Amino acid sequence: MSEIIPAIIPLSFSDLEEKLSLIKGLVSTVHVDVSDGRFTPNVTFPFHPEDKKHLERIKKEEEGMPFWQDFDFEVHCMIETPERYVEDWIRAGAARIIAHVETVGDFSLLKKEVGELTELGIALLYNTPLEKIDPYIEEIQSVQLMSIAKIGYQGQNFEEGIYKRISALRQKYPELTISVDGGVNVENAPKLIEAGANRLVVGSAIFESENITGTIEEFKNL
């Protein structure tokens, strides 16, 4: 059975809070896309100047992540040199860190900062060769394959070639947890699962739905 993980690109702290309120009680894990405006053009929480105060307060345990008691947070670091910021997210309570193989400068430092209690995943852009994860496969718990060509925005076109990428990775690493992120909907989800995906990260298909509860249930019942 594959896990369904709603994805949020938080335009601000209040936007994150609002979207989390829509799925409270429906899922246990939520995917938070974090963009610094360098690896991807857009900028999200907490890189807006007005939002940095919230992360500082969270790090000092003066404030909690919105609905922190209701969710496990999976933080997708769409940022340059993520190892520089991972400690902040660990202190904020992230249960899983996903860093892009294309932007990690010092993997040993990344692994050290994540530690043993937090899951570490590596993400690959759609056109990045799968072999890029080979040097790290013993040190990570999951791989996230992007199924859109342009990351950082929801509602992008789904790339049909992702099925072959999932199948190839599953064949090479039969026990690996494989997550797919980008353009996932109820139509392509069964084929993604059949190809070997364990986790489906779903953004616009959930949050642009007229019935969020019903849509999540539909995904879970696939």
User: Which of the residues are catalytic?
Assistant: 33, 181
C-alpha to C-alpha distance for 1 and 23, rounded to whole angstroms: 20
* Amino acid identity for residue 39 in this structure: F
Q: How many CB atoms lie within 10 A of CB 135?
A: 10
Specify the DSSP element, H or E, that contains 167.
helix 162-172
Q: What single-letter DSSP state applies at residue 143?
A: E
Q: How many CB atoms lie within 10 A of CB 185?
A: 17
- Phi-psi group of 7: left, alpha or beta (phi > 0 → left; psi -120 to 50 → alpha; rest → beta): beta
